[in-house]
């Protein structure tokens, strides 16, 4: 060969959209394509983007293979670059065309580093060697970096995982997936959005439950809308005072996935005090009897997909009707820094239904949620006040149950709001701009 390397620019068309959004399949295929061609693989790094798209590179001793996909078009752009004569990039091309179920592909080969135009430098090449450089392990093992990325137009969260996708199914509502991450354990995602991880789920579930339970000690019946991962009912059922806990989850695949791969959150599904219903929470609330529940927790995902109907004034009005005269509603109310407009609109709605002085906001730090700052709402139908609670009982409970986040001090501190959150809560929803958006959202 009269060049240092061969570079094939490839375009694969009419690929399987499903495969073009499957980071694990793509990473495995790219590594296999390199190895099939005889290359020595050193490292692979791949990212899956939310809601769709995959980028990645396989570093080989002979150069690299790179890819970016557009699942919505069934299209992949691929670079195959090999140096020397030992690796044939066309073998990789053929392998990937079949692996991606491509209808057709186009390609152009470039010869890189024409030898007739190059002059070898006359100096000691050994001086360029990096004595500290890592070599390939004797057993042929490689470093594989496969990343899940949840992103919007302005910010992103990336978590490295093992490349082992533990669960992936599509329900009629959403895609349910579980990844084995390196830093946060098993991670549940719905439609590409992080719902919970083994390492930090306790923050969300302890704060959404124990705050209302210790400020409303007369509660006997509790309802959870959503929360199919099981963490919220797990925490509620620690309280012996509750005679019945009802969980209404629309998607049974969420329950299945968590039973299999997040057993710590799903541990209470067999509790005899739990009434588990797989049905539409909106429909359930509409048919619920007046003043039936002392506590209603809306453990919903973001206001998209099957959870979208849980973010309406009509729904919250039905929740109010179903609460006893001293009942309390708790919701996750988004990130005040990331989803500022939604945050303000939610609280404006609550205040119109429950009353200006009956709605409180509190915060918790959850690393895998956008910005790490997450909010919860406390809305009282009667005179319950989240800052009036039995501190000694809360302290004893936290110790006896081995809680990791909630205690009597965190209960109080969560309601100490930063100035920017106070300003948002007093804002007109029509004038609020998201923190990470240059345009007003109304």
3-state class (DSSP) for residue 328: strand
Residue 438 has pLDDT above 80, yes or no: no
Question: Using 50, 70 and 90 to split pLDDT, how confident is the model at 163?
Answer: confident
Do you find a cis peptide bond into 51, omega within 30 degrees of 0? Answer: yes
- Whether 124 and 205 share a structural domain: no
Mean pLDDT of the chain: 89
Percent of the chain, pLDDT > 70? 90
Question: Using 50, 70 and 90 to split pLDDT, how confident is the model at 357?
Answer: very high
249 annotated to bind ligand: yes
Instruction: Give 35-80 pLDDT, tens digit per residue.
Output: 999 998 988 999 988 778 999 999 998 899 999 999 999 999 999 9
CA–CA dist 309, 434 (Å, integer) = 21
Catalytic residue status for 171: no
The CATH number covering residue 298 comes to 3.40.50.150
The last residue of one of the domains, among 79, 114, 146, is: 146
Q: Is residue 178 part of a domain?
A: no
Which residues are CB-neighbours of 353 under 8 A, at least 6 positions away?
313, 316, 317, 320, 379
Range of the domain at 296: 201-431
280 annotated to bind ligand: yes
Residue 307 has pLDDT above 80, yes or no: no
Sheet holding 373-380, edge to edge: 274-278, 244-249, 221-226, 293-299, 323-332, 373-380, 359-365
Instruction: Give 399-435 pLDDT, tens digit per residue.
Output: 999 999 999 999 999 999 999 999 999 988 777 666 5
Catalytic residue status for 83: yes
Catalytic residue status for 361: no
Question: Using 50, 70 and 90 to split pLDDT, how confident is the model at 387?
Answer: very high
Pairing of the two strands 41-48 and 143-151: parallel
The one-character DSSP state at 235 is: H
102 annotated to bind ligand: no
Catalytic residue status for 68: yes
Instruction: Give 287-298 pLDDT, tens digit per residue.
Output: 999 999 999 999
- Whether 80 and 207 share a structural domain: no
Residue 301 has pLDDT above 80, yes or no: no
Question: Using 50, 70 and 90 to split pLDDT, how confident is the model at 366?
Answer: very high
Q: Is residue 442 part of a domain?
A: no
Point out the catalytic residue in the list 29, 44, 55, 63: 63
281 annotated to bind ligand: yes
Q: Is residue 193 part of a domain?
A: no
Instruction: Give 143-156 pLDDT, tens digit per residue.
Output: 778 888 887 767 77
Residue 250 has pLDDT above 90, yes or no: yes
71 annotated to bind ligand: no
CA–CA dist 321, 293 (Å, integer) = 10
306 annotated to bind ligand: yes
Cα 4 off chain centre by: 44
**Per-residue pLDDT at 135:** 46
Point out the catalytic residue in the list 14, 16, 50, 68: 68
Q: Is residue 286 part of a domain?
A: yes
174 annotated to bind ligand: yes
- Whether 119 and 205 share a structural domain: no
The tally of domains found in the chain comes to 2
Q: Is residue 168 part of a domain?
A: no
- Whether 313 and 405 share a structural domain: yes
Torsional class of 143: left (φ above 0), alpha (ψ -120 to 50), beta (otherwise): beta
Residue 373 has pLDDT above 80, yes or no: yes
Cα 176 off chain centre by: 11
**Per-residue pLDDT at 133:** 46
Question: Using 50, 70 and 90 to split pLDDT, how confident is the model at 212?
Answer: very high
Q: Is residue 196 part of a domain?
A: no
- Whether 26 and 111 share a structural domain: yes
- Whether 237 and 369 share a structural domain: yes
300 annotated to bind ligand: yes
- Whether 292 and 396 share a structural domain: yes
**Per-residue pLDDT at 305:** 42
Pairing of the two strands 75-83 and 104-114: unpaired
- Whether 120 and 218 share a structural domain: no
229 annotated to bind ligand: yes
Pairing of the two strands 221-226 and 274-278: unpaired
**Per-residue pLDDT at 119:** 77
Question: 181, 177, 197, 314: which is closest to 251 by C-alpha?
Answer: 177
Point out the catalytic residue in the list 210, 299, 360, 377: 299
Q: Is residue 85 part of a domain?
A: yes
Which residues are CB-neighbours of 433 under 8 A, at least 6 positions away?
340, 341, 439, 440, 441
């Amino acid at each position: 060969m009269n060049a240092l390397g061969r570079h094939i620019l490839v375009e694969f068309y009419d690929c399987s959209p499903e495969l073009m959004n499957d980071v694990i399949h793509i990473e495995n295929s790219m590594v296999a394509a390199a190895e099939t061609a005889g290359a020595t693989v050193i490292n692979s790094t791949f990212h899956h983007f939310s809601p769709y798209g995959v980028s990645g590179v396989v570093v080989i001793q002979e150069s690299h293979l790179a890819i970016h996909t557009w699942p919505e078009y069934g299209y992949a752009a691929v670079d195959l670059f090999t140096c020397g004569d030992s690796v044939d990039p066309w073998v990789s091309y053929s392998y990937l065309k079949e692996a991606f179920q491509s209808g057709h592909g186009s390609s152009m080969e470039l010869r890189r580093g024409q030898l007739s135009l190059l002059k070898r430098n006359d100096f000691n090449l050994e001086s360029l060697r990096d004595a500290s450089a890592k070599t390939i392990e004797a057993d042929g093992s490689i470093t594989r970096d496969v990343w899940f990325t949840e992103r919007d137009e302005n910010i992103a969260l990336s978590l490295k995982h093992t490349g082992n996708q533990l669960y992936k199914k599509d329900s009629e509502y959403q895609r349910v997936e579980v990844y084995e991450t390196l830093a946060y354990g098993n991670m549940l995602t719905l439609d590409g959005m992080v719902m919970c991880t083994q390492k930090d789920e306790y923050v969300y579930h302890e704060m959404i439950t124990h705050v209302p339970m210790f400020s409303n000690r007369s509660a006997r019946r509790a309802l959870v809308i959503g929360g199919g991962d099981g963490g919220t009912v797990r925490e509620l059922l620690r309280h012996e005072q509750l005679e019945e806990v009802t969980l209404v989850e629309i998607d049974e695949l969420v329950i299945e996935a968590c039973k299999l791969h997040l057993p710590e959150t799903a541990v209470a599904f067999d509790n005899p005090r739990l009434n588990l219903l797989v049905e539409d929470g909106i429909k359930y609330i509409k048919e619920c009897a007046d003043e039936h529940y002392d506590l209603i927790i809306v453990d919903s995902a973001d206001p998209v997909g099957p959870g979208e109907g849980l973010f309406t004034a009509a729904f919250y009005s039905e929740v109010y009707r179903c609460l006893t005269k001293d009942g309390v509603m708790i919701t996750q109310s988004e990130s005040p820094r990331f989803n500022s407009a939604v945050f303000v609109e939610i609280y404006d709605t609550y205040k119109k239904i429950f009353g200006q002085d009956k709605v409180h906001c509190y915060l918790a730090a959850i690393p895998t949620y956008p910005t790490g700052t997450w909010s919860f709402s406390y809305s009282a139908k009667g005179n319950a006040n989240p800052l009036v609670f039995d501190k000694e009982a809360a302290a004893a409970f936290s110790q006896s149950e081995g809680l990791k986040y909630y205690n009597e001090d965190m209960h109080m501190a969560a309601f100490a709001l930063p100035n920017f959150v106070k300003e948002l809560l007093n804002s007109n929803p029509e004038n609020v701009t998201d923190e990470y958006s240059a345009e007003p959202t109304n």
